[in-house]
Structure 1
């Protein structure tokens, strides 16, 4: 079916929205000399490239999470430790990939 080939999961769309939001936030509120000295076009391109690389980084992080996610978790730190481990394996690798992608993309453009 042709519609199945072009369908996106909600997670893919969500990580794309997160990448765009983080890229715009990082270019708008960054007070480093590299960003402050850039013009509007350079900042726009940095946000676009950062969004694309951040989205890709989040998807790579999700693939790594699906590959490396443990089947069982053992802890002696109590319920808070268990909650932390669960939250990390639900979002951690994707968020790390998102941040690396957005900031690398913006740095490449604004260098």
Structure 2
């Protein structure tokens, strides 16, 4: 995540909202409103980060090369020991990042290459 001063301020605001939410009756009307507000702010930060990263990657280049990872395959198989990694991958919106990158490359006429994940470290 790109932590600008604005994003840091929003994260502090989210922490304050979490403290406020913790003092409300769970699943009550006010609790639900604060809970929705927290996650709406967090999603907006994530979307902004994705947009900024895609802009940095696509600015001034003719081609973009990305590894073609199967995110669904990486998160579904395994056991309970992968739970935190799965949650982190879903929260970071890797699929959304890849979709926006492809969309931006197509719109600006930049070639996007997908490299197979197998045997890429071998020469």
TM-score by length of 1: 0.39
Structure number with the bigger relative contact order (C-alpha 8 A, sep ≥ 6) is 1
Q: Which has the larger radius of gyration?
A: 2
Which of the pair is proportionally richer in strand? 2
TM-score by length of 2: 0.36
